[in-house]
Structure 1
Amino acid sequence: MDPASGVIVAQTAAGTSVVLGLMRCGRIWLCPVCAATIRHKRAEEISRAVVEWVRQGGIAYLVTFTARHGHTDRLADLMDALQGTRKTADSPRRPGAYQRLITGGTWAGRPERGLDGIRDRIGYVGMIRSTEVTVGQVNGWHPHIHAIVFVGGRTEGERADKRVIGVFEPTESALKEWQDQWRAVWTGALRKVNPDFTPDQKHGVDFKRLETERDANDLAEYIAKTQDGKSPALELARADLKTAAGGNVTPFELLGRIGDLTGGVPEDEAAGQGTLEWNLGRWHEYERATKGRRAIEWTRYLRQILGIEGGDTEADDLDLLLGADAEGGELRAGVAVTEDGWTAVARRGLDLAVTEAAEGTDGNTDPAAVGDRVREVLALADAAETVVVLTSAEVAEAYADMLAALALRREEAAARRRREAEDHDQDDDADTAQERARRHVARLAN
């Protein structure tokens, strides 16, 4: 992160070690290392939100959206149909089936006429969306969306001023109307893009209600342990932990088989399926199709309504990674390694050996002993002279400097989110004006 300060490898009071000062790529779709940390932190956020909402008396549903697909369908086309297209220099962004769910008069009502919509009758507050992708040799790509939907809330205010003023139990007829509407909109939107993507009514949209606060508390305890569908927050966030079903594989399973096959493991002994060429082709297609897309996204202002800090951009993912670096607990002895020294360590693949040396197995936590162990490893990279031993006080001082830098980064991120929210509001106002003009022209034409 900062070439002037280099990297600090420190021992914690618990006897483990942490590496501070390294930049992360933050690629939640592509990097198994960063994805694990980011998704773990995202799952914690989702869990806190659901627990708090259920505790207040609100209602949450886990809703899964899928599309029909075949082995010849391109992942980019399926992602466009589900999530919408991305804005480019040559074309505007086009909404996907997901965005269609919460648009239109049936959903939003017609406030100017005093008419409520479905969202008012069910007390819709917002949702958290996660997109997951698997692939198989028989049925091809299978992207699908999981969403936790928060309903049963009475709100007042709009946009940044929106807040919950109470909760209620929606009627069975209102909930059925909502579910029927979303199923119809979802299948209709996919049919319009490509009739072959149209799912049947049984499999296209699935609703599961979280019944009690205990469901939410169990969810919180279950975070980051495994993923088999029992935890709605993990179902959203921890795609990196999944093993795909039905003969499919996850993208990281593609990557694992690529690593095995390029490393000399025989095809029949390597995990996963398919030839090296097939796996490389699917991985490259996955890279292109997910570029610029958000894996996990909250409805605008939902975080604010539920009191959850943070955001959903790549910069916010990096904030989570840096925050995780700062969670190692009380630091004791450690070493500072210069930028050149750490470059030599990484080039030789000795970074794990350095962290293990900092932990030690002999129980000796004296700074000099920690430094000696680390120097032995760096000597293998001809970089022993790049190590500076730090006392616990010096480690604490360096740790405080990093926390200060992280705090500054978070302040900058908060300012960035405020600017983005203002820009979105302006875009919404422009879109609303254009829609009013379009309806006016249509009425004149009729």
Structure 2
Amino acid sequence: MDPASGVIVAQTAQGTATVLGLMRCGRIWLCPVCAATIRHKRAEEITAGVVEWIKQGGIAYLVTFTARHAHKDRLADLMDALQGSRKTPDTPRRPGAYQRLITGGTWAGRKATDGDRHRDRDGIRDRVGYIGMIRATEVTVGLANGWHPHIHAIVLVGGRTTGEKADKKVVDTFEPTRASLVEWEDHWRATWTRTLQTINPKFRPTDECERADCPCEGKGHGVDFKRLHTERDANDLAEYIAKTQDGKAPALELARGDLKTASGENVTPFELLGRIGDLTGGVLEDDAVGQGSLEWNLGRWHEYERATKGRRAIEWTRYLRSMLGIDGGDSEDDDLDMLFMDDAENGELRAGVAITETGWHAVTKKALDLAATEAAEGTDGNTDPDAVASRVREVLALADVADTVVVLGPKEVADAYGEMLENLARRREEAAARRRREAEENDDEDDDTRQERARNHIARLTH
């Protein structure tokens, strides 16, 4: 991140290792390292938001949306159907089934200018007290049935609001009637199914289910509702949305798609990546975790890369965060800020080494960065600062970079990290100021261009 500061490999007071001062890619879809941190942070903010809403007396549902899929269906087509297509220079953005859920007069109500045709001016949104949702998209794939993208959403209802956009505030909570909740569920199921049918009849979910043990309770596989009744439910849900390995907690279901093991015969994208690593590393197909040949796994991974490019994995309804008192956003810059803050929140550092930029390049060139990190963790049980630094230095000596390494005690490593943070903060401020200047210059150029265009237009008219 800063050539002048280099890199610090250190052990925290909790006995874990951390490498400070490195750039992160922030690719939540593609990077197992960055995804783990980002999704963990996302799960924390989802938990905070949903628990706060239930404390206020509001109601939360976990709603899962799926589409029918087959072996030959392309992931990009399925993602377009669920999330909407992305805008390109040649084509406008087209809404998917998700966007259609929260549009239209039946949902949002109708204005009085409609005349007497519509006596009911309120929509379903008003009757259930919808204030917003937190959406996460998850993807799995299998040899038999192909891609299976699906959306998990925590939907917050039972609220009355005042104001518009950034000034919108919750003024009251209430319990929607059973009739209005049933109306909402039926409307979303019908809208979801109808929209997918219009986009591609092959993606239309089944209307009914004959499995007695299916959670859809015979209502079809497209949309599933689960209500959260307590704050503990909310905590579990937020974890489930973010996704943990066992996939039981709802915020983890939303955010932690990186850790989930796919059900049935499907695998997650990071399980594809793990099998690719095993097979390219010489592990036999029968011994490697996952399924399929190396060619099949590489093909699915490359398709996944293309289909998720430019899409958000986790997204809050606009202004929902501010209504719940939660800071932050959903952009890639916000993800990078989460990674930066995770580094800054490492807590007390016990000991470590500082490595110059040149030295770190030599370490990574010989693939010793993981060994250095493991050495800092002190798996031998000896957490004495001198022993920690000595172990790390022994590993780095293999890269012949002894002259680029400085052993740091507890106070020294804290001071070095503090200086690194100060340098990074200064560089961020300088970069922000540079972007503002460039934006102002572009605005000036745009004004000049518009004025020149106007002069030319007037000249042509008078001519």
**What's the TM-score, normalizing by structure 2?**
0.84
Out of 272, 296, 299, the position equivalent to 1:281 is 299
Which secondary structure does the structure 2 equivalent of 1:239 belong to?
Answer: coil
2:70 match:
70
Match of 2:100 in 1: 100
CA distance in 2, matches of 1:221, 1:65: 18
Q: Is the 8 A contact 2:43 2:255 kept in 1?
A: yes
RMSD of aligned Cα (Å): 2.4
Kindly indicate whether residue 310 of structure 2 is the aligned counterpart of residue 292 of structure 1: yes
Q: CA deviation at 1:371?
A: 4.1
Is the Cα contact below 8 Å between 1:316 and 1:413 reproduced in 2? no
Q: Deviations over 1:142-189 (max 9, x none)?
A: 111000000001110110000111100001111111111111111111
Counterpart Cα distance in 2 of 1:409 and 1:69: 48
| 2:118 corresponds to 1:117 | no
Q: How far apart are 1:310 and its partner, in Å? A: 1.1
Deviation at 1:12, TM superposition (A): 2.2
1:320 is aligned to: 338
Q: Secondary structure at the match of 1:381?
A: coil
Letter in structure 2 aligned against 1:271:
V
| CA contact 1:130–1:295 (8 Å) conserved in 2 | yes
Residue type at the aligned position of 1:354: A
1:131 pairs with one of 133, 137, 141: 137
Instruction: Output one character per residue of 1:28-51: Cα deviation in whole Å (capped at 9) or x when no partner.
Output: 111111111111111111111111
CA distance in 2, matches of 1:150, 1:359: 42
Map 1:331-370 to 2 at 5 A.
331-360=349-378, 361=380, 363=382, 365-366=384-385, 370=388
- The amino acid that maps onto 2:176 is P
Q: Are residues 245 and 343 of structure 1, via their aligned partners in 2, closer, same or farther at CA, if it must alter by over 3 Å?
A: same
Unaligned runs of 5+ in 2: 114-119, 208-219, 434-463
Relative distance call for 1:31 and 1:153 in structure 2 (3 A) is same
Structure 1 position 395 matched with structure 2 position 413: yes
Which position in structure 2 is the counterpart of 1:10?
10
How many aligned positions are there? 414
- Which shifted more, 145-154 or 14-23? 14-23
Contact 1:319 1:410 in 2 (8 A): no
Q: Paired residue for 2:59?
A: 59
| 1:161 counterpart = 2:167 | yes
Specify whether residues 112 and 411 from structure 1 end up closer, same or farther in structure 2 by C-alpha distance, changes over 3 A only. farther
Q: Is this contact kept in 2: 1:109–1:115, CA < 8 A?
A: yes
Q: Deviations over 1:399-428 (max 9, x none)?
A: 33444467679989999xxxxxxxxxxxxx
Q: Tell me what 2:263 maps to.
A: 245
Q: Distance in 2 between matches of 1:179 and 1:297?
A: 21
Residue 203 in structure 1 maps to residue 221 in structure 2: yes
List aligned pairs for 1:76-87, cutoff 5 A.
76-87=76-87
Are 1:267 and 2:274 an aligned pair?
no
The residue number in structure 2 matching 1:428 is none
Q: Secondary structure at the match of 2:73?
A: coil
How many angstroms does 1:13 deviate by?
A: 2.4
**Compared CA separation, residues 78 and 274, structure 1 to 2 (3 A):** same
Asked if 2 retains the 8 angstrom alpha-carbon contact of 1:9 and 1:334, the reply is yes
Q: Distance in 1 between matches of 2:182 and 2:172?
A: 22
> Relative to structure 1, is the Cα distance of residues 79 and 411 closer, same or farther in structure 2, using a 3 angstrom cutoff?
farther
- Residue 140 of structure 1 is aligned with which of 105, 129, 146? 146
CA distance in 2 between partners of 1:406 and 1:303 (Å): 28
The alignment partner of 1:2 has SS state of: coil
2: CA distance, partners of 1:88 / 1:135? 26
Q: Match of 1:299, as an amino acid?
A: T
Report the counterpart of residue 177 of structure 2 in structure 1. 171
Q: In the alignment, is residue 212 of structure 1 matched against residue 230 of structure 2?
A: yes
- Equivalent position amino acid for 2:183 in 1: E
Q: Distance in 1 between matches of 2:295 and 2:51?
A: 45
Q: Is residue 35 of structure 1 aligned with residue 35 of structure 2? A: yes
Moved more, 240-249 or 292-301: 240-249
Shift of 1:356: 3.2
Deviations 1:132-151 (A, max 9, x none): 11111111111110000000
Q: Is the counterpart of residue 191 in structure 1 residue 197 in structure 2?
A: yes
Q: How far, CA to CA, are the matches of 2:201 and 2:242 in structure 1?
A: 38
> How far, CA to CA, are the matches of 2:270 and 2:243 in structure 1?
18
Q: Distance in 2 between matches of 1:228 and 1:405?
A: 41
Contact 1:315 1:413 in 2 (8 A): no
- Is 1:329 matched with 2:347? yes
Q: Spell out, residue by residue over 1:24-79, the C-alpha distance to the aligned partner (whole angstroms, 9 max, x if none).
A: 11111111111111111111111111111111110000000001111111110000
Tell me the SS of whatever aligns to 1:240: coil
Identity %: 77
| SS state at 2:384 partner | coil
Structure 1 residue 293: Cα displacement: 0.5
Structure 1 unaligned segments of length 5 or more: list them: 416-446
Give the TM-score taking structure 1 as reference length: 0.87
Q: 1:333 to 1:213 in 2, by over 3 A?
A: closer
Q: Which moved more, 1:179-188 or 1:400-409?
A: 400-409
Deviation at 1:365, TM superposition (A): 3.4
